């Protein structure tokens, strides 16, 4: 397996804070790899994801994505990479309340032409691909035209997964996507996410404080150990 | 695509959006309305007197004379003796004179006593002469020619008999019911006070007052319509007269000779010059109105700004989602600016429609009261400039919240702060 993403001696400090939120010596993810990152809140989870997604740029060190040093790129180029190659799922409230379920999934295609093309190659049309994903993630047809807010939290998270998977991104970033779900739904959601990432050939970087979920993943990392800045802080996180 | 998103997001917050559009619409309607009223009132006034070189009346103010003689606004202070009329008509430079005698009314519409020359010489709207929709000029002593509005609003037809009343009010205590007039002509609509006027001959006016003295019927003396025909009905005085010259070059000379005449204190005015004075007098009021309209626009823009800034906090999550999907910061900026433009555009459209509706309702009222014609849609360059100014104001108002959204999208990162 070739390397998809790696962070080298990365350090990041939010503007207006006294010390770095994140200092990582080395972190790498292979293509189609499924990585679980344990990270209680306050350990630089959001910072890590922002850096990987290219929304924040490290003050020191480099981030290499698909062989390119993206941390040196201009912000518009990083936005392009994120639109074309990343799928992001938040903890909750992933959907735009004024769009239907289907339009929320299709939103990805509106911001990325390559992903629209890939979707068209897969299913014939962007809409057909969105419908295929919604169906695979167990969302019944009668929900597709409903406003996103009409869905339960679990259903909303599955729509968010469909949107993140749309148009075959290289990697999915999931930030505690199951924290609002109960036990059975949680495991079912993670299985679905795994299967779909596998089918799409996408890597999955799953961040959570819940260690019990790590069984689903091939590799488990602990952010408390990765983040030197957090270690210096002591037992806080 | 961004416009679609902005639109859908706006529909999601339609309650506030509607209020913003409404306040914007009211301000646009006011702004355009003030301009439109100013222009159209001027056009309408200016087109009422055309082809008249001088208006002559008893000595008062030029505006007073212009307003009561042509627009039937206000009251004349004194009359012009018939001797003076004859003397002016005899001047070599004078081509024609049309005497005007006011003071009576018919069901609220003013009655104008004049000569047949009126129909020949009166011009409105750049040299258009009066046309008869039906019938012909008055010939007999008790003939009347009515304006288009009078005919339409009172449902009058040729041959019908009407009674004139003394004085100008709608409700008159004293009638001239004993000497009815017969309608022999109905004029085509002109969009001037002529539409609201009942025209009779000067002799007719004399006839109904033959048994009157000092503005009241003489007690114990009643003349029948037949008896009055035997009387000497040459007019003793008129309210004012319109004068046409053989050559306009002589206008100042004739004006001067009338104004300095020692026989009777008279005033001759050039309608165009008097209108200019009227505009100067009205300019202050117009400017105050325009200033108020601009202030209202400012308030509407601030209402929109408040709504946009308040919504920004609710929309922080929306922006974070869009950023995660790959939206660039400038697209976030465009989304907010687009919303302010969309709101302004909707406000402009609604405002223009509102104004059309208001004009539609006000036009008959203005025409009935003042005989002024309002045209409904006049897409003049000035209005487009005003609309462009409103759009610009909307754009400028959007910059601040858009900039804040832009900054937020950069500093929030992937964090979903609430």
Q: Does domain A3-232 have CATH number 3.40.80.10?
A: no
> Can you give the pLDDT at residue B180?
85
Q: Which helix (H) or strand (E) holds A111?
A: helix A101-111
Distance from CA of B299 to the nearest CA of A (A): 29
- Of chain B, the percentage scoring pLDDT greater than 90 comes to 30
**Mean per-residue pLDDT over chain A, rounded:** 86
Q: Is the pLDDT of residue B414 over 80?
A: no
Record: contact B411-A93, CB cut-off 8 A? no
Interface check A122 vs B, CB under 8 A? no
Is the dihedral angle over the CA atoms A46, A47, A48, A53 positive or is it negative?
positive
Name which residue leads in pLDDT, B177 or B179.
B179
Q: State the average pLDDT over residues B323-348.
A: 90
Task: Judge: B321–A96 Cβ closer than 8 Å, yes or no.
Answer: yes
The answer to whether B116 and B137 are in contact (CB under 8 A) is yes
At residue B213 the predicted structure's pLDDT band, cuts being 50, 70 and 90, is low
Q: Are β-strands B143-146 and B198-201 bridged in parallel, bridged antiparallel, or unpaired?
A: antiparallel
> Does A71 lie at the interface with B, CB-CB under 8 angstroms?
no
H or E, element range at A30: strand A22-30
Q: Is the dihedral of CA B370, B375, B377, B381 positive or negative?
A: negative
SS3 per residue for chain B: CHHHHHHHHHHHCHHHHHHHHHHHHHHHHHHHHHHHHHHHHHHHHHHHCECCCEEEEECCCHHHHHHHHHCCCCCCCCCEEHHHHHHHHHCCCEEEEEEEEEEEEECCEEEEEECCHHHHHCEECCCEECCEEEECCCCCCCEEEECHHHHHHHCCCCCCEECCEECCCCCCCCECCCCCEEEEEEECCCCCHHHHCEEEEHHHHHHHCCCEECCEECCCCCCCHHHHCCCCCCCCEECEEEEEECCHHHHHHHHHHHHCCCCCCEEEECHHHHHHHHHHHHHHHHHHHHHHHHHHHHHHHHHHHHHHHHHHHHCHHHHHHHHHHCCCHHHHHHHHHHHHHHHHHHHHHHHHHHHHHHHHHHHHHHHHHHCCCCCCCCCCHHHHHHHHHHHHHHHHHHHHHHHHHHHHHHHCCCCCCC
Q: Is the pLDDT score of A233 beyond 70?
A: no
Q: How many CB pairs under 8 A join A and B?
A: 66
b/e burial code for range B343-375 (CB count within 10 A of at least 16 → b): bbbbbbebbbebbeeebeeebeebbbebbbbbe
Average pLDDT of chain B, as a whole number: 85
- pLDDT of B407 > 60? The answer is yes
Place of tokens 């025409």: B367
Residue of A nearest to B12 (CA): A98
- pLDDT reading at B12 higher than 70: yes
Once rounded to an integer, what is the mean pLDDT over residues A180-191?
83
Facing residue for B321 by CB, picked from A49, A53, A94: A94
More confident position, A103 or B214: A103
Look at residue B31 and tell me whether its pLDDT is greater than 70. Answer: yes
Contact A49 B11 (CB under 8 A): no
A47–chain B Cβ distance below 8 A for any pair: yes
Helices then strands, each counted (H, E), chain A: 9, 9
The average pLDDT across B358-374 equals 73
What is the model's pLDDT at position B217?
A: 64
**Cβ-Cβ contacts under 8 Å, A99 against chain B:** 8
φ, ψ of residue B182 to 5 degrees: the values are -110, 135
- CA atoms of B300 and A101, how far apart (whole Å): 35
Please give the pLDDT value at position B27.
Answer: 93
Of the candidate ranges A39-48, B4-13, B334-343, B384-393, the one whose mean pLDDT is the lowest: A39-48
Confidence of residue B364 (pLDDT cuts 50, 70, 90): confident
CB contact, 8 Å: B8 with chain A? yes
What is the nearest CA distance from A179 to chain B, expressed in angstroms?
Answer: 15
Predicted local distance difference test score (pLDDT) of residue A128: 92
Average pLDDT of span A111-124 = 90
Q: Which residues pair with B106 in a beta bridge?
A: B109
Give the model's pLDDT for residue B417: 46
Chain A residues with CB inside 8 Å of B9's CB?
Answer: 96, 98
pLDDT digits (tens, 9 = 90+) for B260-281: 988 889 999 998 888 888 888 8
Measuring CA to CA, which residue among B7, B24, B3, B29 is closest to residue B306?
A: B24
Span A85-98, mean pLDDT?
87
| Interface contact B326-A94, CB threshold 8 A | no
Question: Would you kindly state where each structural domain of chain A is located, as residue ranges?
Answer: 3-232
Q: List CB contacts (< 8 A) between A102 and chain B.
A: none
Is the pLDDT at B23 greater than 90? The verdict is yes
Q: Would you call A175 and B325 a contact, using CB atoms and an 8 Å cutoff?
A: no
pLDDT at B147: 92
Return d(Cα A114, Cα A123) in angstroms, integer: 14
Q: Is the pLDDT of residue B349 over 90?
A: yes
**Which residues on B lie below 8 Å from A159 (Cβ)?**
none
H, E, C per residue of A190-215: HHHHHHHHHHHCCEEEEEECCHHHHH
Is B326 in contact with A83 (Cβ distance < 8 A)? Answer: yes
Q: Do A163 and B328 touch (CB under 8 A)?
A: no
Residue B254: which residues within 8 A CB-CB, separation 6 or more? B53, B54, B91, B93, B94, B243, B245, B268
- Look at A93 and B416 and tell me if their CB atoms are within 8 Å: yes
Q: Locate A22 and state its tokens.
A: 């994140």
Predicted complex ipTM: 0.87
More confident of the two residues B187 and B281? B187
For residue B318, the chain A residue with the least C-alpha distance is A96
DSSP letters for A140-180: -GGGTTSBGGGS-HHHHHHHHHHHHHTT--SEEEEESTTTT
What's the pLDDT band for A235 if we cut at 50, 70, 90? very low
* Cα–Cα distance measured from residue B1 to residue A227, given in angstroms and rounded to the nearest whole number: 40
Which of B316, B325, B329 to mutate to test binding with chain A, by most A CBs within 10 Å of its CB? B325
């Amino acid at each position: 397996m070739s390397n998809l993403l790696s962070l080298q001696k990365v350090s990041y400090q939010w503007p207006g804070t006294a010390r770095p939120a994140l200092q990582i010596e080395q972190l790498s993810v292979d293509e189609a790899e499924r990585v679980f990152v344990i990270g209680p809140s306050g350990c630089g989870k959001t910072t890590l994801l922002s850096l990987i997604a290219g929304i924040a740029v490290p003050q020191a060190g480099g981030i290499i994505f698909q062989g390119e040093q993206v941390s040196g790129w201009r912000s518009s180029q990083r936005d392009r990479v994120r639109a074309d190659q990343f799928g992001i799922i938040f903890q909750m409230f992933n959907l735009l309340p004024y769009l239907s379920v289907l339009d929320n999934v299709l939103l990805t295609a509106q911001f990325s032409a390559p992903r629209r093309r890939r979707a068209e190659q897969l299913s014939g049309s962007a809409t057909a691909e969105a419908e295929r994903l919604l169906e695979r993630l167990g969302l019944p047809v009668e929900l597709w035209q409903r406003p996103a807010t009409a869905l339960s939290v679990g259903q909303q998270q599955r729509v968010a997964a469909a949107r993140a998977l749309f148009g075959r991104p290289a990697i999915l970033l999931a930030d505690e996507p199951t924290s609002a779900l109960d036990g059975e739904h949680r495991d079912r959601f993670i299985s679905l996410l795994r299967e779909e990432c596998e089918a799409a050939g996408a890597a999955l970087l799953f961040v959570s404080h819940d260690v019990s979920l790590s069984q689903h993943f091939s590799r488990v990392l602990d952010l408390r150990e990765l983040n030197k800045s957090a270690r210096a802080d002591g037992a806080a996180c | 695509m961004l416009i679609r998103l902005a639109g859908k997001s706006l529909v999601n917050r339609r309650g506030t959006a509607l209020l913003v559009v409404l306040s914007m619409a009211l301000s646009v309607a006011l702004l355009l309305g003030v301009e439109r009223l100013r222009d159209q009132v001027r056009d309408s006034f200016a087109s009422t007197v055309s082809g008249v070189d001088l208006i002559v009346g008893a000595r008062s103010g030029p505006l007073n004379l212009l307003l009561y003689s042509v627009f039937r606004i206000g009251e004349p202070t004194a009359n012009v003796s018939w001797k003076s009329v004859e003397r002016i008509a005899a001047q070599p430079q004078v081509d024609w004179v049309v005497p005007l005698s006011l003071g009576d009314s018919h069901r609220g519409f003013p009655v104008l006593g004049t000569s047949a020359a009126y129909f020949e010489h009166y011009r409105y709207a750049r040299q258009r002469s009066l046309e008869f929709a039906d019938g012909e000029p008055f010939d007999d002593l008790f003939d009347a020619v009515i304006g288009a509005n009078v005919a339409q609003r009172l449902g009058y037809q040729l041959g019908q008999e009407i009674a004139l009343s003394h004085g100008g009010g709608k409700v008159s205590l004293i009638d001239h019911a004993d000497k009815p007039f017969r309608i022999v002509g109905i004029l085509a609509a002109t969009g001037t006070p002529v539409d609201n006027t009942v025209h009779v001959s000067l002799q007719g006016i004399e006839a109904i007052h033959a048994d009157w003295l000092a503005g009241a019927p003489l007690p114990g003396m009643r003349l029948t319509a037949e008896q009055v025909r035997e009387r000497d009905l040459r007019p003793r005085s008129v309210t004012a007269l319109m004068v046409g010259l053989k050559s306009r070059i002589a206008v100042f000379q004739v004006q001067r000779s009338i104004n300095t005449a020692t026989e009777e204190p008279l005033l001759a005015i050039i309608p165009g010059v008097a209108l200019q004075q009227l505009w100067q007098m009205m300019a202050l009021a117009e400017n105050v109105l325009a200033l108020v309209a601009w202030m209202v626009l400012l308030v509407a823009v601030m209402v929109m700004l408040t709504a946009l800034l308040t919504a920004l906090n609710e929309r922080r999550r929306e922006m974070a989602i869009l950023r995660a999907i790959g939206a660039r910061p400038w697209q976030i900026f465009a989304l907010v600016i687009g919303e302010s433009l969309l709101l302004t555009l909707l406000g402009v459209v609604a405002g223009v429609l509102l104004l059309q509706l208001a004009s539609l309702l006000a036009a008959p009222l203005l025409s009935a009261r003042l005989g002024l014609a309002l045209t409904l849609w006049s897409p003049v360059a000035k209005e487009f400039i005003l609309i462009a100014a409103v759009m610009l104001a909307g754009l400028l108002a959007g910059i601040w919240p858009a900039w804040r959204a832009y900054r937020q999208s950069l500093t929030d990162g992937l964090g979903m702060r609430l």
